[in-house]
Structure 1
Amino acid sequence: MKRGIITVVLIIVVIGAIAWVLNSNKKKNDAQTALVSQGGGAVSVRIATVKKEAVDLDFTANGNFAAKQELNFLSENAGRVNAIYVDEGDHVKKGQILARIDAEIINTDRETAQATLANAIKDEARYNSSFSTGGVTQQQLDQAKLNTKNARMRLQSAARRVSDANVKSPIDGIVNKRYIEVGAFVNTQGTQMFELVDVSKLKLKVNVNESQVANLNVGDRVQIKSNVFPADNFSGKINFIAPKADGTLNFPIEIEVENNHKNTIKAGMYGTAIFKFPARAATITIPRGAFVGSVSSNQIFVLENGNTAKIRKVIAGRTINDQVEIIEGLKEGETAIISGQINLVDGSPVATIK
């Protein structure tokens, strides 16, 4: 019995709360209606006079410098490190010997390959002589020639391994890290030996949006500033523009930068790309927020007779930052409604907010 009474009381309390909320909302709506009626039912909007202005396409983008080429040099032969000729920070040239691997086993393989080739050449000569007198068949002679060919290839392979015992730099660059010591054993699975970087040229990697990338081309020259050396002016050239946007809807751009100043930029530093464009003819632009719904709707409201909103079909062009170029449908001197249009329909009375 008591439980039933409690349930009834709770229901009454809930109904009372709902009634209070509805009554409160009604009072707010009545107050808003009264306010609108005092203003003659006009919707408050912001406006802007349409005029032609020069479009500034210049922009900047920040990014990080990366080395032109980075190489983790791995071992190709198994053996013990006999000597190391460079250290971290050393400049190296392509083909320069960096270290030497113990070539005792490799030399043995080469000597064996040389002896095998010598025997194969003798056998082939003997089979050739016997074939002319009918002592061997054509098939036996062909096999002797094949044996000679295979032995020569094995010798070439062994000689290549002997040459590889001298670990040579494949690029011009700087030894950034050395991972081996004299006496260490390396294997053919690819023991990491050196990290080489080429910073004679750098790559500045930046991201640009869709309106910016539309004005860029591979080969364009770009001014570069370094945060570390603000007094120096660097020059770069665009060598890559991503054909597809990334997850943030931006397009990765890669700029090759000459690193020949007295203050050398290092990979990993921050930099700024300054994109400059020739002056363009003045054009009509409006804020992108002035469009009904979105820019793709190609509809805006204009102010007519000082207090009436009329919908207008326009043709939008480029989006430049927060402005949209109007190619057709709007004339200089007209008045565009740039905010408040969400509450408008064609012919709505409006009151402008100054």
Structure 2
Amino acid sequence: MEKSNRLINTKIEHSIATVLNINIKIMKRLLIFLAVIAGIGLTAAKLLDNKEKTAQKVYIPDTDPKVGVKVAVAEIRRLSQEASFLGSFTPNRKVEIRPQAGGEIVRLNIQEGQFVKAGQLIAKLDDEQLRYQIEAAQVTLEGYQNDLKRYEVLVKGDAVPAVNLERTQLSIRSTEAQIKQLKKQVDNTSIIAPFSGIVTAKMVEKGSVVSIGTPMAEITDISLLKLVVNIPEKSVNEFRNGKTISIKTDVYPDANFSGKVTMVSAEGDDAHNYPVEITVQNSQKNPLKAGMYGSIANAAEVKGEALAVPRQAITGSAKQPQVYVVENGKANLRDVGIGATTNEFYEITKGLKAGDKVVTSGQINLQNGTSVIAQ
């Protein structure tokens, strides 16, 4: 009986061991399966993540791209064109001093750069010999006058012929004329300034001997200056004597000068340019000098009020001008008509209305109907 019980217990233990071994194998297989499933899940998640990142890097073209452009508004404006012309200032007057008498310079009262007034003595020539001649002529004149008194008495008494009286009268007139001539020569030995100005050149020194017409000095008057500008044929009729012109200079860029047209040449050069002189009052605050550059800007009305757009808006050809009009976020190409033109604008005679927005920059990237972003 005891032996039978042991045998039964042994079988039971064997069965339990067998069951346990089976369960362990099942558990191992289950764990392996779960590990495989987890690995597959991680791999799938990684692949999905990589796909999303790759998709972000891949460029997908926009089927309706928007092009950035600059626009301007077509509006009614007064069309005028401003033309700029460059010229140089010349002195109001400039003269070379030349004596009307000859002799040694005994006094010289000027230096280069000195300001002289009208009538001021510039130089004095030796006049001693001329004064001696005047003195001698006056003595002769006095003798003739005494003779005249005597002849007048004698002629009344028929003591001498009347012809002697007439000759004495003629001699007196001749001597008086000679004295006047000598005095004029003495006056000519004093060289004076004909007008106020600056001594811009001195050609002689004290002690020099000069003859009639020898250059002695040069005086330049810049109290007034003349801006000489060459105006092309198409613009010359816009200038009239007395017209007030605004003038700018490089040396005083912030200063404005005002001048008046004082001469419009009646004859142009080979290039059909006409010299125009504009007289300007010199300024003590901003003094101008002859030879400086000056420029004028002359505004001429091309047309009255008209619908206009900037020149940059026009595309196409001269025969078929076009513009891109921005409507509802798209650039639509339109044919237009062009009228008067200025440096900045075109008159639009047809194809647009006031308030239309036209593209002024970026047309190279546009086609009819392209979506745009207006700036």
Give the one of 245, 250, 265 matched to 2:268.
245
The alpha-carbon deviation at position 266 of structure 1 amounts to: 0.8
Give the one of 147, 158, 173 matched to 2:182.
158
Bigger Rg, which one:
2
**Contact 1:210–1:251 (CA<8 Å) still a contact in 2?**
yes
**Counterpart Cα distance in 1 of 2:120 and 2:96:** 16
Give the one of 72, 75, 89 matched to 2:113.
89
Residue 292 of structure 2 aligns with an amino acid whose one-letter code is M
RMSD of aligned residue pairs (Cα, Å) = 3.5
The alpha-carbon deviation at position 54 of structure 1 amounts to: 4.0
Q: How does 1:124-143 map to 2 (within 5 A)?
A: 124-143=148-167
Cα-to-partner distance string for 1:122-163 (whole Å, 9 max, x where unaligned): 333333333333345555434332322222122112112212
Give the one of 66, 78, 87 matched to 1:63.
87
SS at match of 2:123: strand
Give the one of 293, 296, 305 matched to 1:270.
293
Q: 1:278 to 1:320 in 2, by over 3 A?
A: closer
Q: 1:232 to 1:138 in 2, by over 3 A?
A: farther
1:117 maps to 2:134: no
The alpha-carbon deviation at position 59 of structure 1 amounts to: 2.0
- Give the equivalent residue in structure 1 for 2:193: 169
**Contact 1:93–1:171 (CA<8 Å) still a contact in 2?**
yes
- Give the equivalent residue in structure 1 for 2:350: 333
Residue 155 of structure 1 aligns with an amino acid whose one-letter code is I
- Give the equivalent residue in structure 2 for 1:254: 277
- Give the equivalent residue in structure 1 for 2:219: 196
The alpha-carbon deviation at position 103 of structure 1 amounts to: 1.3
Gaps of 5+ in 2: 1-74, 309-318, 322-339, 352-367, 369-375
Q: How does 1:205-244 map to 2 (within 5 A)?
A: 205-244=228-267
Q: 1:275 to 1:135 in 2, by over 3 A?
A: farther
**Contact 2:302–2:342 (CA<8 Å) still a contact in 1?**
no
Q: 1:138 to 1:246 in 2, by over 3 A?
A: farther
SS at match of 2:84: strand
Cα-to-partner distance string for 1:273-292 (whole Å, 9 max, x where unaligned): 2324578524799xxxxxxx
Q: Stretches of 4+ moved more than 6 A in 1?
A: 318-321
SS at match of 1:281: strand
Cα-to-partner distance string for 1:9-63 (whole Å, 9 max, x where unaligned): xxxxxxxxxxxxxxxxxxxxxxxxxxxxxxxxxxxxxxxxxx9974424322111
Please report the TM-score for the alignment, with normalisation by the length of structure 1: 0.62
Q: 1:131 to 1:275 in 2, by over 3 A?
A: farther
- Give the equivalent residue in structure 2 for 1:9: none
User: Sequence identity, in percent?
Assistant: 29
**Counterpart Cα distance in 1 of 2:157 and 2:303:** 91
Q: 1:147 to 1:320 in 2, by over 3 A?
A: farther
Q: 1:54 to 1:104 in 2, by over 3 A?
A: same
**Contact 2:80–2:301 (CA<8 Å) still a contact in 1?**
no
Gaps of 5+ in 1: 1-50, 286-300, 304-317, 326-330, 335-353
- Give the equivalent residue in structure 1 for 2:304: 281
Residue 150 of structure 1 aligns with an amino acid whose one-letter code is S
Residue 226 of structure 2 aligns with an amino acid whose one-letter code is K
**Counterpart Cα distance in 1 of 2:153 and 2:79:** 89
**Counterpart Cα distance in 2 of 1:83 and 1:135:** 55
